[in-house]
Amino acid sequence: MLFQRRFRPVIGLDITTSSIKLIELTRSGDSYRVESYAAEPAPPSAINEKAIVDAQAVGEAVRRAVKRAGARSRECAVAVSGDAAITKVIQMPRNLRASELESQVEMQADQYIPFPMEEVSFDFEVIGPSEKDPDMLDVLLVATRSENVEQRQAAVQAAGLTARIVDVEAFALENACRLLTHQMPDGGMGRSIAVIDFGASSTTFSVLRDTKVAYTRDFAFGGQQLTEEIMRTYGLSMEEAGRAKKEGGLPANYQSEVLDPFIDDMCQQVSRSLQFYLAAGAGRVQPEQLLICGGCANIPGVADVIASRVGIPAERGDPLGQMKISTRALAQGVKKDATALLTACGLALRSFD
């Protein structure tokens, strides 16, 4: 379920507490093209800490996004949050046939999953020969409560779509990092690069070595905190505050009283994440570059401020920087939202696995 793949295009559908973003990609050779894009606000109270509590309401929002985007595919890839998934690398004998491997993984899975197996959706993928023992294979086991999968299936079905792939956000994010290599020195090869994806309510800090994720950490922090501070300071509704944050028109003291303290918090979160990374293993050194992603990356000058505070070159991440873009997607503002589309792009890239 979690790794099921198809060679036909699927919509990358990123469902979060604040918004629903979809993107549809096609590929020609090594080049990608954005065919369609749309974003919709998440229905109020329909998603609680990334758990879908009102599948019908979410489905209606997805349906509106699909219609506005003009998306052609009726199949999509969605993701469960990293904290709702269990991932474990296990070892299996190398001489097992594919059918034997599947049954052996299923037999051993309950050793690593702290829920009754009848309540769990799980899948696995062979990584390759084990470095510890050449007679064994490293196998990635991934599992989540079935209700997490079923919530997303129900929501997309309510929108008239089929959830062809159910992934994990962390894997989708890693998949999308290949779209950032055009911004990395030497295309990221032989380099250590940190990617910080600021979401609405949570942020993912990842360090890539040779373009592969070597370390990742999720923590509760995001752009919603800025929206809530705008609400409190100026007596606005959540919707009004979100619109003002994007479009401007706030009082003159907004920069000094609200935005600058939030940027200070962003810098502290990046600095703390770097400290956690350096303390997590011997021989680690500071990344050579920071790529700032997510909606917060669109705050004017924020990458420069972070760079000056932590002492590492930083720039706004742009996963669409090397892509062609259809006029339909341009009209929907996909370039403006590009830095917030890592997860959606990573899911859409599953079309080509």
Question: Is residue 5 one of the residues assigned to a domain?
Answer: no
Same domain (yes/no): 255, 109: no
Question: Is residue 1 one of the residues assigned to a domain?
Answer: no
pLDDT for residue 278: 95
| Interatomic CA distance for residues 139 and 112, integer angstroms | 13
pLDDT for residue 2: 56
Same domain (yes/no): 19, 78: yes
Same domain (yes/no): 237, 305: yes
Question: Is residue 6 one of the residues assigned to a domain?
Answer: no
Same domain (yes/no): 136, 151: no
* CATH number, residue 230: 3.30.420.40
Same domain (yes/no): 40, 135: no
Question: Is residue 199 one of the residues assigned to a domain?
Answer: yes
| pLDDT tens digit at each of 353 positions of the chain | 555 544 578 999 999 888 999 999 999 888 999 999 999 999 988 988 778 999 999 999 999 999 999 999 999 999 998 888 888 899 999 998 888 888 888 888 888 888 888 999 999 999 999 988 989 999 999 999 999 999 999 999 999 999 999 999 989 998 999 999 999 999 999 999 999 999 988 899 999 999 988 899 989 999 999 999 999 999 999 889 988 998 888 999 999 999 999 999 999 999 999 999 999 888 899 999 999 999 999 999 999 999 999 999 999 999 999 999 999 999 999 999 999 999 999 999 999 88
* CATH number, residue 107: 3.30.1490.300
Same domain (yes/no): 206, 275: yes
Two tokens, residue 147: 């209700």
pLDDT for residue 28: 87
pLDDT for residue 30: 86
Q: Which of helix, strand or coil describes residue 264?
A: helix
Question: Is residue 42 one of the residues assigned to a domain?
Answer: yes
Same domain (yes/no): 296, 311: yes
Which residue range forms the structural domain that includes residue 121?
A: 84-146
What is the dihedral sign for C-alpha 334, 335, 336, 341?
A: positive
Same domain (yes/no): 256, 130: no
Question: DSSP letter string over 212-229?
Answer: EEEEEEEES--HHHHHHH
Instruction: Give alpha helix (H) positions in the chain.
Output: 55-69, 98-109, 146-158, 169-176, 223-234, 238-247, 254, 260-279, 302-310, 327-331, 342-348
| Interatomic CA distance for residues 220 and 127, integer angstroms | 30
Q: Which of helix, strand or coil describes residue 144?
A: strand
Same domain (yes/no): 300, 228: yes
pLDDT for residue 6: 46
Same domain (yes/no): 201, 59: no
Instruction: Annotate 215-251 with b (16+ C-beta within 10 A) or e (fewer).
Output: bbbbeebbbbbbbebbbeebebeeeebbbbbeeeebe
Total number of domains constituting the chain? 3
pLDDT for residue 55: 95
The predicted model scores a pTM of 0.90
Same domain (yes/no): 309, 337: no
Which of 194, 217, 192, 215 minimizes the C-alpha distance to 204? 217
Same domain (yes/no): 153, 218: no
Which 8-state DSSP code applies to residue 255?
I
Question: Is residue 129 one of the residues assigned to a domain?
Answer: yes
pLDDT for residue 8: 78
